[in-house]
Chain A
Amino acid sequence: MNIVTVCGMGMGSSLVLKMNIDDILKQKGIKAEVEACDLGSLVGKVADLVVTTYELKSQLEDKGYNMAYVRSVIDKKVLETTIMDAIGNLKK
């Protein structure tokens, strides 16, 4: 499974998101490739799940990806629930 985190520049909040998701997946024993990129670079990428903040929702929601949104990239508890729900929904 591959997950892509997106932010405006690809090396700020998307990186923090990626690291937190890496930690959560490791804890849960789930294997996935997690990559951070910027808005512009997402085009053409294959991703099972794209994670970003609500701020960028309007710019990404119509790109055809499975999306998960968070309000804070550092709140691990909320992130865990959001990610696990999103992954669970993918399998359906």
Chain B
Amino acid sequence: MLGELLTKDTIRLNVKVKNWEEAIRMGGQLLVQEDAVEQSYVEAMIRAVKELGPYIVIAPGFAMPHARAEDGVKKIAMSLLTLESPVAFGNADNDPVDLVICLAAVDHTTHIKAMRELAVFLNDADKMSQIKFTKEVKDVLALIQA
């Protein structure tokens, strides 16, 4: 399922951003382009970090911005960004971030399969270090599908 959500249309590598908000906006824009979310969802993802803190930085160097289905999700989607230079999200344990995967879920369970695949991928230290150095989207796709 992960391979269906993360495609050449939803992956951007070595993106330049000034701060974490811009990183979430760029990742969110990919979801808007896929017609998976409303613009309001992008704002909701940013608001979540401002209100709840940067708990979305769930592992060293990796952030998973997301908001609620009610915030404007039309269909399940994910986008992936690697950042040219890492940015701080304010998470003392896991900053700075250079891999951002935005998630749009329609409820609490439909995306479980994709999350499980993502969890397996994130647990693979080799793949995680390789992904930050990939320059071509097709290499990222190969890593994800392997």
Q: Report the bound CA distance from A17 to B80 in whole Å.
A: 20
Q: Indicate whether B7 reaches chain A with its CB closer than 8 angstroms.
A: no
CA distance A10 to B115 in the complex (A): 13
Nearest CB of chain B from residue A42's CB, rounded to whole Å:
13
Q: Distance in Å from the Cβ of A83 to the closest Cβ of chain B? A: 15
Interface: B26 (CB within 8 A): no
Interface size on A, residues (CB 8 A): 23
Q: Is the CB of A72 within 8 A of B111?
A: no
Instruction: Enumerate 22 A-B pairs (CB-CB under 8 Å) in ascending A order.
Output: A8-B52, A9-B48, A9-B67, A10-B108, A11-B109, A12-B64, A12-B103, A12-B105, A15-B115, A16-B122, A20-B119, A53-B55, A55-B53, A56-B55, A71-B94, A72-B59, A72-B93, A72-B94, A73-B59, A74-B58, A74-B119, A75-B59
Residues in chain A within 8 A of chain B (CB atoms): 7-13, 15-16, 19-20, 36, 39, 53-56, 71-76
